[in-house]
A and B are shown apart, each in its own frame.
Chain A
Amino acid sequence: MRVKLLYFAKVKELVGLDNEIIDLPSSVINFDELKHYLISRGGPWSEIFLPQNATRCALNQNLMHSNFIIEAGSEIAFFPPITGG
C-alpha cells in the first residue's frame, strides 16, 4: 500500500525531508503499526516518536487523536504541537 508522508517544523528538520512516498508492507494497516514501522527504520524516525517530542499526526488533513486505519493513497502528516497565532 502506497501512502504519502509529510513532515513539518521540528519534525521536518529531524527527519531531513518534507515529504516522502512509501510503500508500506502488507502488515501495516493502522497508525500504531505505521508508527512501529517508522521507528524500525531507526535514526530520526525513532526520535520523532519520543514522548518529549509529543509529535502530532494528521490523516488527510484532519488532526488525529487515536489509532486509525490507513488506506492506500492516504496523506499522513507528522508535526510538533501547534504554536501559531
Chain B
Amino acid sequence: MSIKVQSESFDLNHILLEMKKDNAAIGAAVSFTGFVRELIKVPQSEQLTSLYLEHYPGMTEKSLFEIENKAREKWHLEDVFIVHRVGELKLNDPIVGVIVLSAHRKDAFDACAFIMDYLKTEAPFWKKEITKENSRWVEAKESDDHMRLRWNN
C-alpha cells in the first residue's frame, strides 16, 4: 500500500505491473487516471493554460490513508496505490491516479470508484484554473457529494 502526494508526473501502467509482479492472489487490477482537460464552452482567450493544485500537507496524506482503509474494510483488496499531484500542472497532465488490485473484478472496480469519490470530497486539495488573462479557484460541485453519498446505501 502506498500513498503519494508529489509534484512529479507518474506512470500508472508501470506501477501497476510492479505491484502485480508475482502476487498470484491478484486476479483483477483496476486503475483510474484523472487528467487536466480543457474547459468546455469558453472562448479560446479564456481557455485553460495551466492548473494550480494546492493541498494541506499532513492532512492530505492522512485523509488518503483513511480513504484507503475505508475501502479495505468494505472490499477484499490485495493492494492499493493512490497518487495525487500538487503545484502547477499543464493541459493534458495526469493529476490523480488510483490502482486497486484484488482477487475479483467487482472488488477492484467498486473500490477504485469509491476511493475517487471520497478523494474528490474529503482529501484537502484545491484547484485553481489559470487562463491567459486571469485565474480563479474552482467551485466545488454538488454532484461530487452525491457520488460519495451513493456508497452509504
Q: Give the bracket for the number of chain B residues in contact with chain A.
A: 20 to 34
- Which of B56, B120, B140 sits near A8, CB closer than 8 Å? B56
Cα-based distance from A62 to B60 in the complex (angstroms):
10
* In the complex with contacts A83-B125, A84-B119, A84-B127, A9-B62 CB distance below 8 A: no
> Does more than half of chain B's interface fall in helix, strand or loop, or is it mixed?
mixed
13 contacts between A and B (CB under 8 A): A8-B126, A9-B137, A61-B62, A80-B140, A82-B120, A82-B121, A82-B126, A83-B138, A83-B140, A84-B53, A84-B95, A84-B127, A85-B95
Q: Interface on B for A, CB 8 Å cutoff?
A: 34, 53-56, 58-59, 62-63, 84, 95-96, 116, 119-128, 137-140
Which residues of chain A in 38-83 are interfacial with respect to chain B, using CB atoms and an 8 Å cutoff?
54, 58, 61-63, 77, 79-83
Considering only CB atoms, which chain A residue lies closest to B139 in the complex?
A83
Q: Given known contacts A9-B137, A61-B62, is B56 in contact with A84 (CB within 8 Å)?
A: no
Question: How far does the alpha carbon of A10 sit from the alpha carbon of B135 in the complex, in Å?
Answer: 11
Indicate which residue in A8, A58, A77, A85 contacts B54 across the interface (CB closer than 8 Å): A8
Binding site for B on A (CB under 8 A): 6, 8-10, 54, 58, 61-63, 77, 79-85
- Looking at the assembled complex, report how far the CB atom of B127 sits from the nearest CB atom of chain A, in whole angstroms: 5
Cβ–Cβ < 8 Å partners of B122 in chain A: 63, 82
The CA-CA distance from A54 to B140 in the complex, in Å, is 10
